[in-house]
Amino acid sequence: MKEVILLWLSYYTPLHMLTDNPSPQIIMQRVRNLILEYVKTVAGYKMGDMPGLMEVFCMWEDFVAHPLEFYFQQFEEPVYTLSEKMSLKEVDEAWKMWGDTVTDEMLYENELDVLATPEWMAFSAAAARAMAIMAKRGKLPEDHAIS
């Protein structure tokens, strides 16, 4: 199971983050930092921001393996605290609900309508809560493993 998760992480981790042959934990710390930036983006998103909503939708899957229940092990201590892990589960559930209500056309052409949906508002609020929880520890080092 752990090997599958690490394979997934290495597949979705940007290439420049893998060239220094980091340990699995450092990869996870780097991905956590990307997730922190992602929830900040979602929480503060305004119409016309870059990346656009379609990319915002797709980026979650770049950092978080699905089904989340199967891959929940990707959020292991010490990289994630229990409260961080639970907040990201909430973000994932809100992301799924948002994804069930929008079409590709809406994401590309009707951004204002998408931002007004209760599902987006719930997703944005979940991201804001996760951001607040993750910001307590902030970004983790990307060159050495924490303990």
- One DSSP character per residue, 62-75 reads HHS-SSTTTTGGGS
C-beta contacts of 60-64 below 8 A and 24+ residues apart: 60/91, 60/92, 60/95, 62/12, 63/12, 63/31, 63/34, 63/35, 63/38, 64/35, 64/88, 64/92
How far lies 57's CA from each of 32, 39, 40, 60, in Å? 18, 12, 14, 6
pLDDT score, position 68: 62
Residue given tokens 């409260």 in the structure block: 83
- pLDDT confidence tier of residue 5, bands split at 50, 70 and 90: very low
- Give the model's pLDDT for residue 121: 97
Write down the pLDDT at residue 13: 56
State which amino acid sits at residue 92. D
Question: DSSP 3-state helix, strand, coil percentages of the chain (rounded to 5)?
Answer: 65, 0, 35
pLDDT tens track for 99-132:
999 988 888 888 889 999 999 999 999 999 999 9
Q: Specify the pLDDT at position 111.
A: 87
Per residue in 28-63, pLDDT (tens digit) is 899 899 999 999 999 999 988 888 899 999 999 888
Query: What average pLDDT does the segment 72-79 reach?
Result: 83
